[in-house]
Amino acid sequence: MSQIDLERVTKTFGTVEVIPPLDLNIADKEFVVLVGPSGCGKTTTLRMIAGLETATSGVIRIGDRDVTDLRAGLRNCSMVFQNYALYPHMSVAENIGYGMKVRGTPKTEIAKAVADAARILNLEPYLNRKPSALSGGQRQRVAIGRAIVRQPDVFLFDEPLSNLDAKLRIEMRTEIKLLHRRLQTTIVYVTHDQVEAMTMADRVVVMNQGRVEQAADPITLYERPRNRFVAAFIGAPSMNFIDGALERGDGGVNFVAEGGVKIALADARVETLSSSVGEKITLGIRPEHTMNAEQAFPAVDIKVADVEPLGPHTLAIGKAGQADFTAQIDAASPVRPDEMLRVSLNPAKMHFFHANSGEALGRLEG
Amino acid sequence: MSVRDLKGRRRWLALAGCLVWLAFTLFPLYWVGITSFKSPVGVVGGPTYIPFVDFEPSLTAWRELLSGARGQFYSTFMASTIIGLSASVAATLIGAMAAYSLVRFQFQVRLLSGLIFVFVAVGGFLLLRDILGMGQALALIYSFIAALGLSVISAWAPLPGPILKNKDIVFWFVSQRMFPPIVAAFALFLMYSEMGKLGFKLVDTYIGLTLAYIAFSLPIVIWLMRDFFEALPVEVEEAAMVDNVPTWRIFFGIVLPMSKPGLIATFMITLAFIWNEFLFALFLTNSRWQTLPILVAGQNSQRGDEWWAISAAALVAIIPMVIMAGLLSRLMRSGLLLGAIK
């Protein structure tokens, strides 16, 4: 068993509190991704689990062991770094086997472990090369090989794909997922790339300023974000937000915002939002939940500033009233910059947030 | 604009300037070279420039030097080599350790602890020698041990006053090279001869001169190596830490190999300094462990300036260093870190 528990863990550097009391539980064999903007404390959290930083207070447990004050080497974790951190003067085989050699493992055993790792990671032709003679993707595979021969309780990945080019990143993403399925080891993975987080994780932990904003599986994060920060962070292109208020009128409840935006709410939504009528709230709608104007759906007018044809569909970027707005429309739509465009919003996919606290209002259960 | 872009007359002027400078730097070496092959009469009889044309070369100076007629050439050469190599290796190794710890660990020394060291060391020495009538050397040893012990213990106490950090410690090391070496040379000679009275001979011994050179080379080694270690990516060491590699193994197995170009450059600089050092060798040796600079200077005898002999000895002192530099510069190629990180 190698679950990880962080209880009331804090970290301060000098007088700066990077992590306010943080609770996080990671189940055995789970693939958890910590994601957030830079400086949100995700790497510090990972380094505290690894033992490269000591927690200022709180308790860290791996399995049943309290490792809070244990040094990094004794925690039985393996770590893969963003910049590979290979030993430049050793060959690939020596890099992978160095830890075992230091621990006094017999040579034949090392050779077998290295050969196994090389086979899994397709490194067999390169075993005698120095890291300087490898490409970025190969180097990162060597780093992963060095991690797996340790047979650790926990794998820790610190933005391992950020230095690779886009195509390789997608390939390695799949490789790491396959590796997880094969090895069945707990993985904690840090990234600032929400696509990486969504595609790889069993569970995504969205962090901001040292706090956990929401921890859930990718689809829940996407469909039912707990607050505006999570809603804005997850999804690309990013969710549109229109600040306004709910008002009664025309025989129902409307969302009204500056610039002539007025959206009638369906009855199902009115029930859950009725307590917020009259308050300032924010409407959120993802670009992929907008479409060319249709009679049945509420609509907004946007003044188009730029058009991005992507092939399957086109993005129209502009303003709805005062708010920035990106709409996803048919590829065939003849829209030009500086024109007005009427787009419909899928009422079932609208999100509402409390304007001040950013908390989601009337979340649809299901 | 580069020199390569120059055209016509300007280009020739630039070339001429470079040639003049080349002649200016090479001529002394040439002069020493031909002088070592001149006969005493040839040297005194006015300047001659080209062998076989201006003067007939003679092997007198070399024969006298190598036969040992002018000082113990072989033993001096061996002393220089042994002391130079061992002191440079030791200084580079010890200095590298100090520099690494100053880069990777944060030290805090209270200024007051330092002052306690100074007061106890000086005060204790005066007390033991002048009031309790103890011998110089013993008084020195006891007071320094007491001072060291007290200052280390006091560093744990929450003393008031400023706290010195790593950069202050580095400055303290480097400052050792700021005062004139003659000050240290005198003090060392006195200390060594007092130790000799205790039966522990240091003057004109291998260990005495080597220790002095190590101590005097350390500041420059620490200063140079600190820059090399700071350039190393810390993640490589962190990866080893997570992999449960012991700290000493990280240093010797990973950090030192990664900073090989820096180590070799530092070793070369230290060796050149020790090889050429004159003052300490003059004070701290007298016969058995004399080094080459002393031998070269010694050619200037009562019979006047015997330039042919000085030249031959000077060449012997120069050539090994040229060969060393040539061999080691091949190992100093950069790009060794390539592949460690992106």
In a domain, A366, yes or no: no
Q: In chain B, positions 298-317, which contact chain A (CB-CB < 8 Å)?
A: none
Q: How many CB pairs under 8 A join A and B?
A: 96
CB contact under 8 A, A85 and B253: no
pLDDT at B334 over 80: no
The domain tally of chain A equals 2
CB contact under 8 A, A132 and B246: no
Nearest chain B residue to A52 by CA: give it: B238
Write the residue in A77, A83, A88 that is nearest to B342 by C-beta: A83
Q: How far is A135 from chain B (nearest CA, A)?
A: 9
- The answer to whether residues A331 and A352 belong to one domain is yes
More confident site: B91 or B138:
B91
A134 CB neighbours in chain B (<8 A) are 339
Q: Are A288 and A314 in contact (CB under 8 A)?
A: no
What is the reported pLDDT for A282? 92
Sign of the four-CA dihedral B209, B212, B218, B220 = negative
- The answer to whether residues A164 and A304 belong to one domain is no
Write the residue in A87, A130, A132 that is nearest to B236 by C-beta: A87
Contacts of B304 (CB under 8 A, 6+ apart): none
What is the reported pLDDT for A41? 92
Among A244, A253, A310, A223, CA closest to A327 = A310
Nearest chain B residue to A87 by CA: give it: B340
In a domain, A77, yes or no: yes
Task: Locate B313 and state its tokens.
Answer: 């000895």
A113 CB neighbours in chain B (<8 A) are none
A103 CB neighbours in chain B (<8 A) are 244
What is the reported pLDDT for A267? 75
Q: Are B205 and B211 in contact (CB under 8 A)?
A: no
Which CATH number does the domain housing residue A342 bear? Answer: 2.40.50.140
- The answer to whether residues A76 and A193 belong to one domain is yes
CB contact under 8 A, B238 and A86: no
- The one-letter amino acid at A212: V
CB contact under 8 A, A99 and B244: yes
What is the reported pLDDT for A366? 38
- The answer to whether residues A66 and A162 belong to one domain is yes
Which CATH number does the domain housing residue A206 bear? Answer: 3.40.50.300
What is the reported pLDDT for A23? 95
Q: What are the tens digits of pLDDT across the range B53-104?
A: 878 888 888 888 888 776 678 888 999 999 999 999 999 999 999 999 999 9
What is the reported pLDDT for B63? 85
What is the reported pLDDT for A279? 84
Q: How far is B169 from chain A (nearest CA, A)?
A: 21
Contacts of B134 (CB under 8 A, 6+ apart): B128, B142
B41 in contact with A at a CB cutoff of 8 Å? Answer: no
Q: How far is A14 from chain B (nearest CA, A)?
A: 14
CB contact under 8 A, B238 and A139: no
> Distances from the Cα of A5 to the Cαs of A9, A44, A64, A112, in angstroms?
10, 15, 9, 34
B115 in contact with A at a CB cutoff of 8 Å? Answer: no
Lay out the sheet containing A299-309: strands in order across.
Answer: A290-292, A340-345, A299-309, A313-320, A323-330
C-alpha–C-alpha distance, residues A109 and A118, integer Å: 14
- The one-letter amino acid at A110: I
In a domain, A21, yes or no: yes
Give residue B243's region: left, alpha or beta (phi > 0; psi -120 to 50). alpha
- The answer to whether residues A172 and A121 belong to one domain is yes
Degrees (nearest 5) of the Cα angle A167, A313, A171? 15
- The answer to whether residues A73 and A218 belong to one domain is yes
- The answer to whether residues A215 and A246 belong to one domain is no
Q: What are the tens digits of pLDDT across the range B112-131?
A: 999 999 999 999 999 998 98
Write the residue in A77, A85, A146 that is nearest to B233 by C-beta: A85
In a domain, A155, yes or no: yes
C-alpha–C-alpha distance, residues B119 and B107, integer Å: 22
Q: How far is B334 from chain A (nearest CA, A)?
A: 13
Q: What are the tens digits of pLDDT across the range B145-189?
A: 999 999 999 888 888 888 889 999 999 998 988 888 898 899 899
pLDDT at B335 over 70: no
**Bond into B160 cis (ω within 30):** no
Residue where one domain finishes, among candidates A211, A233, A255: A233
The number of angstroms, rounded, from the C-alpha of A43 to the middle of its chain's C-alpha atoms is 13
Please name each of the domains of chain B with its CATH number: 72-107+165-331 (1.10.3720.10), 108-164 (no CATH)
pLDDT at B341 over 70: no
- The answer to whether residues A177 and A304 belong to one domain is no
B245 CB neighbours in chain A (<8 A) are 73, 98-99, 102
Burial of residue B285 (number of CB atoms within 10 Å: 0-12, 13-18, 19+): buried
CB contact under 8 A, A79 and B242: yes
Residue where one domain finishes, among candidates A233, A263, A284: A233
Residue where one domain finishes, among candidates A176, A208, A233: A233
- The answer to whether residues A125 and A31 belong to one domain is yes
Predicted ipTM?
0.87
- The answer to whether residues A116 and A208 belong to one domain is yes
CB contact under 8 A, B242 and A51: yes
What is the reported pLDDT for A298? 86
Lay out the sheet containing A16-26: strands in order across.
Answer: A16-26, A4-13, A57-62, A65-66
Q: Are A186 and A29 in contact (CB under 8 A)?
A: yes
Read off the pLDDT of each residue in B217-246 and give the average, rounded to a whole number.
93
In a domain, A183, yes or no: yes
Q: Are A22 and A212 in contact (CB under 8 A)?
A: yes
- The one-letter amino acid at A331: A
- The answer to whether residues A218 and A325 belong to one domain is no
Nearest chain B residue to A148 by CA: give it: B243
Read off the pLDDT of each residue in B260-276 and give the average, rounded to a whole number.
91
A163 CB neighbours in chain B (<8 A) are 342
Q: What averages of pLDDT result for each successive group of 10 residues across chain A (366 residues)?
A: 92 92 95 94 95 94 94 93 93 95 94 94 93 91 94 94 90 92 94 93 95 94 94 92 87 82 80 81 93 84 92 92 91 89 90 91 60
B256 in contact with A at a CB cutoff of 8 Å? Answer: no
Could you give the 3-state DSSP secondary structure of residue A277?
coil
B238 CB neighbours in chain A (<8 A) are 52, 72, 79, 81, 85
Q: Which domain holds residue A94?
A: 4-233
Write the residue in B257, B260, B340 that is nearest to A86 by C-beta: B340
- pLDDT band of residue B339 (cuts 50, 70, 90) is low
Residues of A with CB under 8 A from a CB of B: 50-52, 71-75, 77-79, 81-89, 98-99, 102-103, 130-134, 136, 139, 143, 146, 150, 156, 163
Degrees (nearest 5) of the Cα angle A27, A30, A33? 110
Q: What are the tens digits of pLDDT across the range B301-320?
A: 666 778 888 888 888 888 88
CB contact under 8 A, B254 and A87: yes
The H helix count followed by the E strand count for chain B is: 16, 4
DSSP string, A189-247: EEES-HHHHHHH-SEEEEEETTEEEEEE-HHHHHHS-SBHHHHHHSSSSPPEEEEEEEE
DSSP string, B82-121: HHHHHHHHHHHHHHHHHHHHHHHS---EEHHHHHHHHHHH
Q: Are A99 and A150 in contact (CB under 8 A)?
A: yes
- The answer to whether residues A181 and A286 belong to one domain is no
Nearest chain A residue to B254 by CA: give it: A87
